[in-house]
């Protein structure tokens, strides 16, 4: 299958080119040329299938032409080495818990899949060295990733131990929580953490400059693992199908509304792809924090990106959501079509805190600040007869200080997180000057 750019100014790319490049040469986002509908038999039998079986069928529709079946199956099964249960919260509202992976956030799915796919391509290229393709050079691939917290841990853990790949995580000194920091600074092996004297934007600038530096690119193979990569965002479609299957098992799949706490909109976009593949979802709701650029777009038809503001649901503090271009492309830039399928909501920190505390005290279910936006949107917008599922995108313990402050009680830390916290922090101090970062990379 080929991938085109949302800007329409770049040549079609193969899957491998799209994955290695991340962003198209015209700065657009890659889209698969086809989104195949899955057959009726698949939907008829979906309730009896496992998460991995379902995911393999979905993966085959996108990647089956490019990856041998056995390899793809292995990649999918190895990626999804954990569950994503739908848990009833109250009334017609359910939580799709996407925090059972190694770093307790949904980004584990995309990061693990991408790491394994890239690992497969590298292995394959090193076997077929003489094949002629401009992205094919042999040798180690270096993944550069800037993080304000969650992305770094998901990417670092997703790529941990994958042969042929080295990951450099750049994070702002003193700006990520201790729990987040230990998830990417204690790993060792093929993961190096760089503690940057600056803010997140500095980290991002260093990474972007590195990709544009000719000398550096001649010296080493560089790639990114950010959320716009097709290998990270498409696999997120898997759990929408699995959520449907679980609702169907309970006879509650009739009028399904899925609510997605959104920042860069990769997660929602994957759900829209699932819908395009025939998954019977009645409608979607995108829940925003105060960074409500998408919500405003739904209201007015105008897209006005602006600087992000800090909130307690900080993984959604995005002022110019990158996957918006994919949503526009998917619906032919029709505001009316987008509004028919997707509703919006926006909440202040006070409302998020109120929802988190109230839901906990009333039902015993502990939300994280992102999931709280999703829960609240369903509680306000669900119509009679509809069943709602919101994506619980991270475990509340990842935001322990915030959550404990809100519920006035202790949050138990899952064993997986405790294990990270027992590790020894190792990171390389780095200034925010590109010359220093470049000199470091040239020397390793």
Ligand X SMILES: *Cc1c(COP(=O)(O)O)cnc(C)c1O
Extended beta strands in 270-377, E state: 283-288, 342-346
372 lies in the site for ligand X, by CB under 6 A: no
Question: Which region among 79-87, 111-119, 187-195, 258-266 touches ligand X (by CB under 6 A)?
Answer: 258-266
Phi-psi region of 8 (alpha: psi -120 to 50; beta: other; left: phi over 0): left
Query: Least Å distance between CB 281 and ligand X?
Result: 17
Q: What count of other Cβ atoms lies within 10 Å of the Cβ of residue 361?
A: 11
185 lies in the site for ligand X, by CB under 6 A: no
103 lies in the site for ligand X, by CB under 6 A: no
Query: Least Å distance between CB 314 and ligand X?
Result: 9
147 lies in the site for ligand X, by CB under 6 A: no
Nearer to ligand X, 143 or 216 (CB): 143
95 lies in the site for ligand X, by CB under 6 A: no
The residue among 275, 274, 320, 314 whose CA lies nearest residue 297 is 320
235 lies in the site for ligand X, by CB under 6 A: no
Nearer to ligand X, 46 or 93 (CB): 93
Phi-psi region of 149 (alpha: psi -120 to 50; beta: other; left: phi over 0): left
Query: Least Å distance between CB 294 and ligand X?
Result: 9
Nearer to ligand X, 125 or 150 (CB): 150
The residue among 174, 321, 193, 340 whose CA lies nearest residue 262 is 321
Q: Give the pairing of strands 283-288 and 428-430.
A: unpaired
265 lies in the site for ligand X, by CB under 6 A: yes
Q: Is residue 435 within 8 Å of residue 209, measured between CB atoms?
A: no
Query: Least Å distance between CB 392 and ligand X?
Result: 9
Chain centre distance of CA 348: 23
DSSP 185-241: HS--TTEEEEEESS-HHHHHHHHHHHHH-HHHHHHSEEEE--TTSHHHHGGGGHHHH
Task: Give the dihedral sign, CA 207/199/303/337.
Answer: positive
164 lies in the site for ligand X, by CB under 6 A: no
Nearer to ligand X, 79 or 142 (CB): 79
315 lies in the site for ligand X, by CB under 6 A: yes
Binding to ligand X (CB under 6 A) within 266-285 occurs at 266-267
Q: Which residues contact 330 (CB under 8 A, 6 or more apart)?
A: 31, 269, 272, 273, 276
Question: Which region among 8-16, 62-70, 140-148, 265-273 touches ligand X (by CB under 6 A)?
Answer: 265-273
Among 205, 290, 326, 370, binds ligand X (CB under 6 A): 370
What are the angstrom distances between the C-alpha of 101 and each of 97, 111, 271?
A: 10, 11, 19
Q: What count of other Cβ atoms lies within 10 Å of the Cβ of residue 434?
A: 18
Q: What count of other Cβ atoms lies within 10 Å of the Cβ of residue 396?
A: 27
Nearer to ligand X, 164 or 388 (CB): 388
261 lies in the site for ligand X, by CB under 6 A: yes
Among 142, 153, 227, 379, binds ligand X (CB under 6 A): 227
Nearer to ligand X, 142 or 183 (CB): 183
Nearer to ligand X, 374 or 388 (CB): 374
3-state helix, strand, coil in the chain (%, to 5): 50, 15, 35
Binding to ligand X (CB under 6 A) within 377-406 occurs at 393-394
Query: Least Å distance between CB 99 and ligand X?
Result: 8
Catalytic entry in 107, 173, 248, 398: 107
Among 262, 308, 379, 402, binds ligand X (CB under 6 A): 262
Site string (106-145) toward ligand X, x via CB under 6 A:
-x--------------------------------------
Q: What count of other Cβ atoms lies within 10 Å of the Cβ of residue 166?
A: 18
The residue among 94, 99, 100, 91 whose CA lies nearest residue 375 is 94
The residue among 253, 231, 257 whose CA lies nearest residue 244 is 253
152 lies in the site for ligand X, by CB under 6 A: no
Nearer to ligand X, 141 or 207 (CB): 207
Query: Least Å distance between CB 110 and ligand X?
Result: 9
- Establish whether 73 is a catalytic residue: no
Q: Which residues bind ligand X (CB under 6 A)?
A: 105, 107, 150, 227, 261-267, 315-316, 370, 393-394
Catalytic residues: 107
């Amino acid at each position: 299958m080929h991938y085109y750019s949302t800007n329409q100014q770049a040549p079609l790319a193969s899957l491998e080119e799209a994955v290695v490049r991340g962003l198209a040469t015209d700065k657009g986002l890659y889209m698969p040329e086809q989104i195949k509908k899955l057959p009726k038999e698949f939907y008829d039998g979906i309730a009896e299938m496992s998460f991995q079986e379902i995911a393999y069928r979905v993966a085959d529709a996108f990647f089956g032409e490019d990856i041998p079946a056995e390899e793809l199956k292995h990649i999918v099964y190895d990626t999804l080495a954990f569950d994503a249960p739908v848990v009833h919260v109250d009334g017609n509202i359910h939580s799709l818990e996407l925090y059972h992976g190694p770093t307790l956030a949904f980004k584990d799915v995309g990061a693990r899949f991408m790491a394994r796919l890239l690992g497969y391509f590298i292995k394959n290229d090193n076997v077929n060295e003489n094949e002629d393709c401009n992205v094919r050079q042999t040798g180690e691939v270096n993944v550069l990733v800037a993080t304000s917290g969650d992305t770094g841990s998901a990417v670092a853990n997703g790529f941990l131990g994958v042969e042929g790949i080295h990951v450099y995580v750049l994070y702002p000194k003193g700006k990520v929580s201790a729990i987040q920091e230990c998830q990417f600074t204690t790993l060792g092996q093929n993961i190096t953490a760089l503690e940057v004297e600056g803010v997140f934007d500095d980290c991002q600038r260093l990474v972007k400059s590195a990709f544009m530096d000719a000398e550096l690119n001649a010296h080493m193979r560089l790639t990114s693992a950010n959320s716009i990569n097709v290998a990270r965002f498409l696999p997120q479609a898997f759990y929408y199908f699995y959520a449907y299957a679980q609702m169907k098992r309970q006879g509650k799949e009739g009028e399904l509304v899925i609510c997605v706490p959104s920042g860069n909109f990769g997660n929602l976009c994957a759900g829209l792809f699932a819908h395009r593949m025939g998954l019977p979802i009645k409608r979607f709701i995108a829940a925003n924090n105060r960074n409500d650029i998408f919500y405003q777009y739904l209201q007015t038809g105008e897209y006005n990106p602006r600087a992000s503001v800090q909130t307690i649901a900080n993984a959604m503090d995005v002022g110019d959501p990158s996957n918006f271009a994919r949503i526009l492309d998917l619906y032919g830039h029709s505001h009316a079509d987008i509004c028919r399928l997707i509703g919006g909501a926006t909440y202040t920190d006070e409302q998020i805190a109120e929802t988190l505390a109230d839901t906990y005290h009333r039902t015993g279910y502990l939300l994280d600040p992102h999931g709280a936006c999703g829960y609240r949107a369903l509680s306000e917008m669900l119509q009679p007869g509809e069943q709602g599922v919101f994506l619980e995108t991270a475990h509340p313990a990842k935001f322990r200080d915030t959550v404990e402050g809100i519920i006035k009680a202790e949050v138990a830390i899952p064993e997986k997180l405790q294990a990270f916290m027992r590790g020894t922090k190792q990171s390389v101090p780095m200034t925010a000057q590109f010359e220093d970062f470049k000199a470091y990379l040239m020397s390793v």
